[in-house]
Chain A
Amino acid sequence: MLQIQSLQAGYGALPVLHGIEMSVGRNEAVAIVGPNGAGKTTLVRTLCGLVKPMAGRVLKDGVALTDLPAHRRAERGIAVVLENRNLFVELTVRDNLRLAESAGRKASGGSLRFSLDEVLTLFPAVKERYHSSVGLLSGGQQQMVAIARALLLQPDLLILDELTTGLAPKIVKEILGVLNNLRTQGMAILLVEQSITIAAEMTDRAYVLSVGKVAQEIRRGEWQAVLADDSLIKAYLHG
């Protein structure tokens, strides 16, 4: 579904990512793990079109996205929950979702389609605060709004950047429950996480990013071994 080939990207003339090679298959959940400064967020921003690549290609279903601006990528079935949620805090939950809903009508995403009611059913806490300003919501509720908003874009690939940072364990559990549910329904997920435990719980395989390069790939079925042997964690993830 998603292929990243020899991707180089950065800010100004300074490259942050160096020749990244990755792929995410249909109905697959893949994690990108790595320490702070590894280039995870730059990778996400490049995938969604906010950072222009210096070299390499990004393909979705065989079609190059590299020159496509950010606002056109949602139409191709890619939805992103950016780091720090990036919500419109002065708008209500309703308006945040309404904006995504109208953008989602143009999407040529996958077989999964989400109505507003369905999304609100997934997140009862969002439904309760439907008419509140997003700025008045707790961190966990805001994260739920961010995911709900992404789902209304009718994606077949959901990219989530630092989803669980700063959230209470109970909220993390609730959100991961929803994502697991989506996964079983066939949604492809690219999860950018600092917590290797959450990455292992949520995904089939992972790429370990270090100093802008793929340092290692954790293949399907290797998670147990990785968690049992802490050498990789010590080498790349600083414990």
Chain B
Amino acid sequence: MNKLRRSLLLLLLVLAWALAPLLLSRHLIDLFVFAGLFTIGGLGVGLLLGQCGIVNLAQALFYGIGAYSSAYVTVQLGLPSLTGFLAGMLASALIAIAVGWPVLRLTGFFLALATLALSLIGNVLFFEWDWLTGGTLGIGGIPKLSIFGFAFDTPERVYYLVWPIAILVLLLADNLVRGRPGLAMRAMRDAAPAAEVLGVDMHRLKTAMFVICAMLGSLAGSLFAHYVSYISVQSFTVERSIAFLLIPVVAGSASVWGIIAGALFVTFIPELLSGFGDIHQVLFGLALVLVVTLLPDGLIGGADRLAQLLKRRMA
């Protein structure tokens, strides 16, 4: 019965997802596309935070590398858009290895500060290297994404592309977390010395996860660049890194699928609050404080507790 109920719920969700672009306004479809992008980018940060206990504030750097790679490869070099995706992910992976290998020897606050510094350095480089990034002017005229001749040139089409990609990476992450690497990550988070003496190469594992996180950030950045057609440094600031970090924090850091809830929260709540004018950022901050204090296990933990409470009441 439970299985049937779950299958029905899943079917309803898929139906709602499939029909949403037909019923929603252009603006709401835009927001859902961004939520999908944030799910992909936030997943990397969530894996590091929830599974390894690492606070990563550098995701805007890799988001930017993905976006600028796609923009440069398609606009300056005139190559197909998939080349930009590959270039971005490759560059992000290499930079993540080069930077992560020394930096990930740090722990706790020092590591968080080091990733924050990476984000700041990245932003300065995006600003200074105008031959590559266009500096403050940014890069415009980025073509819409085209895969094997099929152009994702409307918000609806991008919506139908971004979310299956998000679900795919979530499925892969879920698989990773349930396997031996996931166990090793949680072991490392819970009792690092014991994990080490059990044969877990913590430094290698952390670096591997940092690389995966960077590649996810880059993938989201490339999709973002093709979707908005114009990018500039303002999209890759430390605030963006903080927003990526908020996604797993709000969702409940250990939850892989909860990343969707976190991404929807950081996309839709500021939008809902924007009607309040200048005070909307204060209200968003307040909403965050409320979530973090009232729901220490995040939205997913809160939903679980509510479901259990209802179950007990109904029993």
Contact = CB atoms under 8 A, between A and B. Distances in A.
A167 to B, nearest CB: 18
Instruction: Give the size category of A's interface with B.
Output: 20 to 34
Given A71-B202, A86-B191, A88-B190, A99 B197 contact: no
Interface string A68-107: 0111111100011010001111110001001110110010
B45 interface: no
A71 B187 contact: no
Interface residues of B, number: 17
Contacts of A86: 191, 193-194
Given A99-B183, A99-B184, A102-B180, A89 B190 contact: yes
A73 B196 CA distance: 9
**Max count, chain A CB within 10 A of own CB: residue among B183, B184, B194:** B194
Contacts of B196: 49-50, 69-71
A237 B10 CA distance: 65
Contacts of B184: 99
Contacts of B193: 45, 50, 70, 82, 86
A114 to B, nearest CB: 15
B128 interface: no
Contacts of A45: 193
Contacts of B29: none
Interface in B193-229: 193-202
A79 B190 CA distance: 19
Nearest to A134: B190
B186 interface: yes
A57 interface: no
A95 B183 contact: yes
A95 B202 CA distance: 18
Contacts of A74: 197-199
B197 A88 contact: no
Contacts of B187: 88, 91, 99
A153 interface: yes
B197 A70 contact: yes
A48 interface: yes
B198 A87 contact: no
A111 to B, nearest CB: 20
Contacts of A91: 183, 186-187, 190
Contacts of A95: 183
A74 B198 CA distance: 6
Given A50-B193, A87-B191, A88-B191, A103 B198 contact: yes
Interface of B: 180, 183-184, 186-187, 190-191, 193-202
19 contacts: A45-B193, A70-B197, A71-B202, A72-B199, A74-B199, A82-B194, A86-B191, A86-B194, A87-B194, A88-B191, A89-B191, A90-B186, A91-B187, A91-B190, A98-B180, A99-B180, A99-B187, A100-B198, A103-B199
Given A69-B196, A103-B199, 9 more contacts: A48-B197, A50-B193, A71-B198, A74-B198, A86-B193, A87-B191, A89-B191, A98-B183, A102-B180
In the A-B complex, list the 8 residue pairs whose CB atoms are closest, starting with the nearest.
Answer: A103-B199, A86-B194, A70-B196, A74-B199, A88-B190, A86-B191, A71-B201, A88-B187
Interface of A: 45, 48-50, 69-75, 79-80, 82, 86-91, 95, 98-100, 102-103, 106, 149, 153
